[in-house]
Amino acid sequence: MTSPLRQVRHVALDMDGTIYRGGTLFDCTVPFLTRLGELGIGYTFLTNNPSKSRADYLRHLQDLGVPATAGQLYTSTQAAIEFIREEHPAVHRLFALATPGLNTELEAAGFELMPDHPDAEPDAVVVGFDTTLTYARLCRAAWWISRGKPWFATNPDRVCPTDQPTVLVDCGSLCASLETATGRPPTAVLGKPDPAMLRGILHGHDLQPEELAMVGDRLYTDVEMARRAGAVGVLVLTGETRAEDVAQAAHAPDLVVPSLKELGLLLQENSPTRSAS
């Protein structure tokens, strides 16, 4: 049986839980990226985490020792900005549950951020992975949503992977709270598993879907996006998903590997130009 990796020319890599966890880089990450280069396989980093700006992420990757350029990074913040611009062009003023990094990106895109005041009426609400969240701002977001304002979530993730002894409540959980309080689901949820996150890579690198592998640690975002886009879905077990979760998944990944180390070996085995190293 032919491996689904046989035609892969480019790899889209989830970040937290796949190449690192929190502030800890996996030992296999840099050797994996080196192997991709040896095989002539390109790569792009994708993240659903909007809490940092693109500049922040590039610094974070560089500090960890991961080589990356701006052209190799795509975030759910970019996806949300592009969606609002294209589908809701009348939206200019935003009330955002956001970190300073996300706020910086929204302002750089030309949006006006509204303060927490009942007279500062926004055109829409944006909800991100807000690690600076206060109860008052959560309530203000619910107020504007209850008044009929469209609201957009940057990503559906319920928790964010961490190497610390805590649970990091992510955007999807904040949205569940707001939907319960207001009775209104988000107008749109951007980021993975929306296949638009992969379309830019497919077009930019002139790829067919089967030539792109989406690699990540989550069934409901990474693997589901690969399925929707027709790409190869690879699940790594270094993040949120456990091996026993796969059997209960509605849609199984094309491949399950313990880490990027094993994926690199499989790519080499299935590459027509595999090296002898």
Strand blocks (E) in 86-219: 93-97, 112-113, 124-127, 151-153, 159-160, 168-169, 188-189, 212-216
**Mean pLDDT score, 8-32:** 94
pLDDT at 67 over 60: yes
pLDDT the model gives residue 217: 93
pLDDT band at 1 (very low <50, low <70, confident <90, very high): low
Return the CATH number of 80-189, one of 2.40.160.20, 3.20.20.140, 3.40.50.2020, 3.40.50.1000: 3.40.50.1000
Class (C level, CATH) for 10-48+192-269? alpha beta
What rounded mean pLDDT belongs to the chain?
93
The predicted model scores a pTM of 0.79
pLDDT above 90 covers what percent of the chain?
75
Q: Which of 57, 85, 60, 89 lies closest to 73 in space, CA to CA?
A: 57
Q: Are 15 and 45 in contact (CB under 8 A)?
A: yes
Per the document, the length of the chain is 277
How do residues 134-146 score in pLDDT, each as one tens digit? 999 999 999 999 9
d(CA 87, CA 251): 30
CATH 3.40.50.1000 range(s) for the chain read 10-48+192-269, 80-189
How do residues 87-136 score in pLDDT, each as one tens digit? 999 999 999 999 999 999 999 999 999 999 999 999 999 999 999 999 99
pLDDT the model gives residue 79: 87
d(CA 242, CA 231): 22
How do residues 246-267 score in pLDDT, each as one tens digit? 888 888 999 999 999 999 999 9
Strands 159-160 and 168-169: antiparallel
How do residues 172-219 score in pLDDT, each as one tens digit? 999 999 999 999 999 999 999 999 888 878 988 999 999 999 999 999
pLDDT the model gives residue 187: 97
How do residues 209-225 score in pLDDT, each as one tens digit? 999 999 999 998 899 99
Paired tokens of 42: 């390109």
